[in-house]
Amino acid sequence: MTQSRMGPSITLRFAMPRAELRAFVTTYYHVEVRCSEREPVVEDYLHPEWANLRFISAGTCESAIGGEVLTAVPAFAVTGPTSRPARFRFGTGRMWGIGLMPAGWAALIATPAGDYADRFVDGLADRAFAPFHPLARALAASEDYAESLALIEAHMERVFAGSGASRARLAGPIRAISTALVDPDLATVAELAERVGMNVRSLERLTRRAFGFPPKLLLRRQRFLRSLAQFMLDPSLKWLDALDGQYHDQAHFVRDFKRFMGMNPSEYAKLEKPFLVAAARARMEIAGEAVQGLHAPESGS
């Protein structure tokens, strides 16, 4: 999907992983931005999402999570699961991304997701992401879309093949939690614990390991994302029409909006969203969900 405006043009492409990996990877995605002298960068806000591996080749790429100051993003950037908005500025260039489901993080990364929550790091400087260093180097040398996608697919196949024991041990419980979290009728931590057959303390340990946050915050985040996704797909909606059924009233939603996006819904509605709206529609078209955090785990091996 390409979105062209008077200034920059943005081309987004999403690709699904093979069926066996869909419990672990949401999508592979490619972004190409061409800016103009009048508008040298694209600026937007990412909503809360699961972890992402991003391989970037651009003259300008800066980001800030929550209220932090914009800083340069490394060529191989790993962003852990987020519960805050990520503001970014992107100049002419391209980026490949790999979205990791919680089960994917647990299978491939030895460090708990909670240690990377609401922050991004240089993947080349962090030993936890050494399995992806060869892919980062290969993508830096490839400018062809089909060739690069093939490199990603082959690499992900190899790293998951080497993670068999960890995947088998953790995938079942994590997948059960992921499945429960996308159920709009699930409202409380007690219900979640009962649904997945765990006591609350064990549930909290596992969600920090794979999901990055305690279960109460995860449920609150999911409720918010369901509402945000409706608005992103149809910005003509009034916020009241986009609200998830678990919100008691609009004031309840506004509190969550401030928590997860750092601004009021009315402020967000007025912002230009050159990347996010196009991405939501492209992701919906290929993956059936407008935002990464609402992906349901598929039946992978």
Neighbours of 110 (CB within 10 A): 8
Q: Name the residue among 102, 144, 98 with its Cα closest to residue 123.
A: 98
Q: How many domains does the chain have?
A: 1
Q: Average pLDDT over the chain, rounded to whole?
A: 91
More confident residue, 281 or 137: 137
Q: Is 181 helix (H, G, I), strand (E, B) or coil?
A: helix
Pairing between β-strand 2-4 and β-strand 9-15 as defined by DSSP bridges: antiparallel
What is the domain range of residue 36? 1-301
pLDDT in tens, 137-166: 999 999 999 999 999 999 999 999 988 755
* CA atoms of 49 and 225, how far apart (whole Å): 9
Q: Are 160 and 100 within 8 A, CB to CB?
A: no
pLDDT in tens, 258-268: 999 999 999 99
Q: Bridge-partner residues for 263, per DSSP?
A: none
* Full-model pTM: 0.93
DSSP state of 300: -
